[in-house]
Chain A
Amino acid sequence: MARIIGGIGTSHVPTIGLAYDKGKQDDPAWSPLFKGYEPVARWLAEKRPDVLVFFYNDHLTSFFFDLYPTFALGASPEFEIADEGAGKRSLPRIKGHPRLAAHLVDSLVNDEFDLAVFQERALDHGVNSPLSLLWPHEPDWPGALVPIEINVLQYPLPTALRCYKLGQAVRRAVESYPEDLDVVIVGTGGLSHQIHGERTGFNNTEWDMRFLDLIERDPMELTRMKHADFVRLGGAESVEVIMWLAMRGALSDGIRKVHQNYYLATSTAMTVALYEEPAASASGFARAAE
């Protein structure tokens, strides 16, 4: 049976990918960011999950307003890196997992989450920016990824509670998959930032800290918030943290936060947090016994 061994919450700022591509790992202005990802990358290298289920949003790259899905799951065997106006980042194509994807869709739709299914659409910085810091990729990525796109940019957005419930349904779907797979759930976006209008540059570290506490300890309180509350507290584009709620919904109440890094340099509070499931500690043992 497939099982969820942990969850990761991470910002997906394009600047992270840009700084990575420019080799700024040792630049004092950037190293606190890169150092913050290293424990998560080490954990992934140690636990070797087969699949990352990645809640992300497309930034009007592979989807446009002619059809912008509220929820959409990518089922292809692989995904191109998107061209977002300056050519593609030089990263290998991202492997999908068509069998798990098909199962997730079967399970989710029967669980009343009628999401769209996409194939052969490129993944933009919503996925590839944090992924390049989480997984090594020379010559290729060490595992597969199932992307689940969430509309966080054209209102009406799915509610915070709906995203949490989607995560719960994803957990049921993963746990009913017959093949032995170790799965990590990733929720992307945030934390506080606003990048449009005269309010551009807004941040709120106090709120970010409260969010990080609640997402771990009391996510239900976050599910009661309205989008306007997220906008007021964290800035307009920070409403995308509802994707962290999708991740959290897929995790159990037995999680333990094993790492957190918060770095607000210019415009976005760049954050990564790692939550381990009790199942993860049995991971090495189970593999050794296989």
Chain B
Amino acid sequence: MNPQLQGIDQIAGTYPFDVARSVERIRINRFFWSMTRPEYRERFVRDEAALCKAEGLTGEETALVLGRDWLGLIRHGVNFFVLEKFARVLRLSNLDVYASMRGESLDDFLRTRRVPNAR
């Protein structure tokens, strides 16, 4: 146990990303990371399911990708910062992703913010 993380399991709705998680989930994290390359993005857009298969994603993982299940992906062990690349490919803003992880529509989420029109 990392002593710096003592008590972190009591913070609800938070999924610390550590080396154990990273090792377990490197394949799907690499899948999203590769979206920094234009040719990879094109492959994804052309046939999402085919790319998931070619990259060895499991059926469960493929469903999370195709279903744009942002919270599910986080809970599965995907790091937020590779999901950010996925959002760019889908032309979604980070705010769209935040709203989804909270289980809210974008407008409902923005209504909870100090400056809702800063989008």
A residues contacting B by CB (< 8 A) are 14-15, 29-30, 59-61, 64-66, 82-87, 153-157, 159, 194-201, 226-228, 231-232, 236-237, 264-267
Name which residue of chain A comes closest to B6, CB basis: A228
Given contacts A85-B88, A197-B101, A198-B13, contact A29 B18 (CB under 8 A): no
Question: Quick check: A196 and B113 within 8 Å, CB to CB?
Answer: no
Q: How distant is the Cα of A199 from the Cα of B10 in the complex, in angstroms? A: 12
The answer to whether A231 and B84 touch (CB under 8 A), given A14-B94, A201-B102, is: no
Q: Are B101 and A196 in contact (CB under 8 A)?
A: yes
Q: Contact at B98–A65, with CB atoms within 8 Å?
A: no
Q: Are B38 and A156 in contact (CB under 8 A)?
A: no
6 new A-B pairs (CB below 8 Å) besides A65-B26, A85-B86?
A156-B2, A156-B18, A196-B101, A199-B13, A227-B4, A236-B16
The stretch from B47-55, B56-64, B73-81 touching chain A is B73-81
Total A-B pairs in contact (CB under 8 Å)?
146
Cβ of A59: which chain B residues have Cβ within 8 Å of it? 81, 84
Q: Determine the distance from Cα of A61 to Cα of B29 in the docked complex, in whole angstroms.
A: 12
B residues in contact with A82, CB < 8 Å:
36
Q: Is the CB of B114 within 8 A of A155?
A: no
Known: A84-B84, A153-B17, A154-B19. A227 touches B113 (CB 8 A): no
CB proximity of A163 to chain B, nearest CB, Å: 12
Residues of B within 8 A of A197 (CB): 13-15, 71, 74-75, 101
Task: Tell me if B11 is interfacial: C-beta within 8 Å of chain A.
Answer: yes
Q: Once the chains bind, are A153 and B79 in contact (CB under 8 Å)?
A: yes
Given contacts A84-B36, A195-B80, A200-B101, contact A65 B29 (CB under 8 A): yes
A213 to B29, CA, bound (A): 38
Chain B contact residues, majority secondary structure: helix
Does B66 touch A at the CB level, under 8 Å?
A: no
Contact (A29, B115) CB under 8 Å given A64-B30, A154-B17, A159-B4: yes
B110→A85 contact, CB < 8 A: no
A-B contact pairs, 30 of them (CB 8 A): A15-B94, A64-B29, A83-B38, A85-B36, A85-B84, A85-B85, A85-B86, A85-B89, A154-B22, A159-B4, A195-B97, A196-B101, A197-B13, A197-B14, A197-B74, A197-B75, A198-B13, A198-B101, A199-B11, A199-B12, A200-B98, A201-B102, A226-B4, A227-B4, A231-B11, A236-B11, A265-B113, A266-B115, A266-B119, A267-B95
Q: Mark B1-40, 1 if CB is under 8 A from A, else 0.
A: 0111111100111111111001000100110010111100
Complex CA gap A228/B7 in Å reads 7
The residues of A that contact B6 with a CB separation of less than 8 Å are 226, 228
Nearest 9 CB-CB pairs, A to B?
Answer: A85-B88, A198-B13, A199-B13, A85-B85, A265-B118, A265-B115, A29-B118, A86-B88, A155-B18
Q: Nearest Cβ distance between residue A172 and chain B, in whole angstroms? A: 26
CA distance A64 to B110 in the complex (A): 32
Nearest chain B CB to A43's CB is how many angstroms away?
26
Bound CA–CA A157/B4 (angstroms): 9
